[in-house]
Structure 1
């Protein structure tokens, strides 16, 4: 008989309390963190077809790992609430249980791709938000040692300067994309306008995450997570309207994308990201040769400039607005989990920041 579906976080907590806690038998921390839809709270019955079942992490001091690992391995039942406790493991390449017993420091370093302590600005910029969710989402069941709780608190959100710089970049990306959509419309390029409308909708959603200080997950769960933001109730329907008619003729005062950006501008001001700017819309100022084109766009550039002015670190303020890793490129599973690119990008950011600092 197939076991009834329960959310993976709830299954993991019950598994820990009824099975793992008695087996651990000494001070430890325990949680369900890392990869997996259930860590984000988005799993459904469909999720159970791979890498899903009773699992958890158990963290102990370095000298106790082997003893606790052996005790748990020997004491696990074959099933828990109708679910097998051992199934195919990508990590081992065979059937195995999915209880990780390790130190908090070792697990955190593997999850982030670098040690969690002492992150400098460059390291923050190069951390995929999905990796940060691996550490800060999920659920902690117990923490006798305190190390895990402290690390999750330290990684809960970006330092203020990094946060503001990323918001400035996000507004910059909005501002450089808006007139391209209008130009496509003018030329009758419906396909190009549709693509740019979709890009602007995505940029607006990413901005909403930043304004609400929430890490965004990778694309599979991006829309689902956005729907849980405070901004989604107002911004979501406006983006839906824009996406439903992406190649509509002129972008007039009732353009839903402009309305969505205005709402985000008001939320920006309310969050005190920078000095208040106030949303506005007008013709597109090219910025060269006094050229002004009759494309109605938001004042994204004003928000970008005001936010950049609020960044205290002069080197970060002087950095070209290429964005943090998730703004610079796509954060798919290959990049996040299987490549060394985040570490290499950290070195590139570090070099750029050093150059910016030296030029002042």
Structure 2
């Protein structure tokens, strides 16, 4: 193995074509999808310390699985381009090769928790973590003889229009709830509170930027790096850095500029009636109370997005957001528990009531 780092996707593609493909004599799909920093294109030499090496998924008809598994087991070389082809697998609990041979449908359900070809209602979209959607839509496909894997990736490429609008209105709702809290903390001199709420608002700005650009966001380890790939980051990153690192009043001014920019960019999407981004005093909504700190007109975006939703059940749902907005969709939730399925049931029940 040389000193120059080879990205995992490139290694997997070479491994498939030169070492694995000759062992498979039936129609199939070949890819590197699922978990792993290399699937997202964020792997570095540090990634090689666990669960990294020559690997590929082979997806085919059930009747071919055992024969192909046998040929792979007997025919794989022990070393490929300087990398061992058998290494410790957390899932298997032992050293083994990492050519996963499975029926296509079984693998899709294992990764996503459902088969989107059977249809996904709004609840299924809302309860599926974006990291899990990235497991199917990121990565690289090396071969797809019958086109079914490509079809699945296209079905999952982005949210249906109503769900997209509801996630964005939930993002604006969260911003509208958070910004006046920061203003109150500034007023009372709560330095820690200001910093925490500044960081929260920066995160909410970034989430809304992902949604506006129709890009799923990954879990926290790669959230900032993925944000850096958005077109919006050119404008927003300097403003968010100024908000996080600057002194007052410059920090507040940077946050306000970021939120005004998001409002203008919403109008560029052309999916609702235009809303003029604006700042004004915070209206509490109780006893006519108005507080002097300035807040963006987030509620106007909430209402115009709500008006664009055609499904009355979704339109009337309390704007708690999708699973990634409602809770921390970390590795335990994304990969190791049935919480996404539970959340799907909760969303479904909420929209029945």
Shorter chain as denominator, the TM-score bin is: over 0.9
- The residue aligned with 2:185 is 184
- The residue aligned with 1:51 is 51
Note the residue ranges of structure 1 that are not aligned, 5 or more in a row.
356-360
Q: Distance in 2 between matches of 1:53 and 1:251?
A: 44
Shift of 1:3: 5.5
- Cα root mean square deviation, aligned: 1.2
Aligned partners of 1:185 and 1:249 also within 8 Å: no
Aligned partners of 1:29 and 1:58 also within 8 Å: yes
* 3-state SS of paired residue (2:87): strand
Q: Distance in 1 between matches of 2:166 and 2:67?
A: 46
Shift of 1:273: 3.1
Shift of 1:249: 5.0
* 3-state SS of paired residue (1:57): strand
* 3-state SS of paired residue (2:51): coil
Q: Distance in 2 between matches of 1:96 and 1:170?
A: 44
Aligned partners of 1:2 and 1:82 also within 8 Å: yes
- The residue aligned with 2:332 is 334
* Deviation string, structure 1 residues 133-155 (Cα, Å, up to 9, x no partner): 00000000000021100000000
| Runs (4+) off by over 3 Å | 1-4, 249-252
* 3-state SS of paired residue (1:141): strand
Shift of 1:33: 0.1
In the alignment, does 2:228 pair up with 1:243?
no
Q: Distance in 1 between matches of 2:221 and 2:120?
A: 28
Q: Distance in 1 between matches of 2:186 and 2:340?
A: 37
In the alignment, does 2:124 pair up with 1:123?
yes
In the alignment, does 2:264 pair up with 1:263?
no
Aligned partners of 1:251 and 1:296 also within 8 Å: no
Aligned partners of 1:55 and 1:98 also within 8 Å: yes
In the alignment, does 2:171 pair up with 1:170?
yes
Note the residue ranges of structure 2 that are not aligned, 5 or more in a row.
none
- The residue aligned with 2:27 is 27
- The residue aligned with 1:315 is 313
* Deviation string, structure 1 residues 341-360 (Cα, Å, up to 9, x no partner): 111111111110011xxxxx
- The residue aligned with 2:98 is 98
- The residue aligned with 2:304 is 306
Count matched residues.
352
Shift of 1:250: 8.6
In the alignment, does 2:1 pair up with 1:8?
no
Q: Distance in 1 between matches of 2:109 and 2:291?
A: 51
How high is the TM-score relative to the length of structure 2?
0.98
* Deviation string, structure 1 residues 216-263 (Cα, Å, up to 9, x no partner): 000000000000001000011100000003x625976xx101100111
Aligned partners of 2:26 and 2:64 also within 8 Å: no
Q: Distance in 2 between matches of 1:241 and 1:194?
A: 12
- Aligned counterparts, 1:199-278, within 5 A: 199-245=200-246, 248=248, 255-278=253-276
Shift of 1:91: 1.2
Instruction: Classify 1:51/1:251 alpha carbon distance in 2 versus 1 (closer, same or farther; 3 Å).
Output: closer
